[in-house]
Amino acid sequence: MAQHATTWSPGAALSALAAFAGAAIAAILYLTPLTGVTGTIGALIVLGASLLVGIGALLLMATRRALWLWLTLLGGIGTAVAAAFLHAWWIVVLLAVVLVGLVMERLTLTRSRKART
């Protein structure tokens, strides 16, 4: 565990940053007049879901456990779909970045496992 936590994981960091950026955009959409989703439950859901995705990525970064990778991936896909229904295209783009980060992280994990064996 400690060995994993001290390893730099750029993929997970990218995912966390992108997810939090998505949450920030969702907050702006929720609070700014005339976004089309101002004050809606949908915008709040995407805001909350983006935060959870970001937290998942942080946990992945901290623990390097595949469980967090898969949970973050599922959350990211679901949040992207929800954001698409909000017509929040920048959030969709950021969640695509989250997925890229997760793929990077997956590759890193695979390489490190191979190295250990």
| Residues forming the site for another protein (CB under 8 A) | 33-37, 40-43, 45, 82, 85-87
Q: DSSP class of residue 88?
A: -
CB of 35 to another protein, least distance (A): 7
Q: Which is nearer to another protein, 19 or 46 (CB)?
A: 46
Nearer to another protein, 7 or 32 (CB): 32
**The token pair that represents 105 in the structure block:** 């992280």
- Residue 18 burial (10 A CB sphere; 0-12, 13-18, 19+): buried
Q: How far is the CB of 34 from another protein (least distance, A)?
A: 5
- Shortest separation between residue 82's beta carbon and another protein, angstroms: 7
Show Cβ contacts of residue 87 under 8 Å, excluding neighbours closer than 6 positions: 36, 37
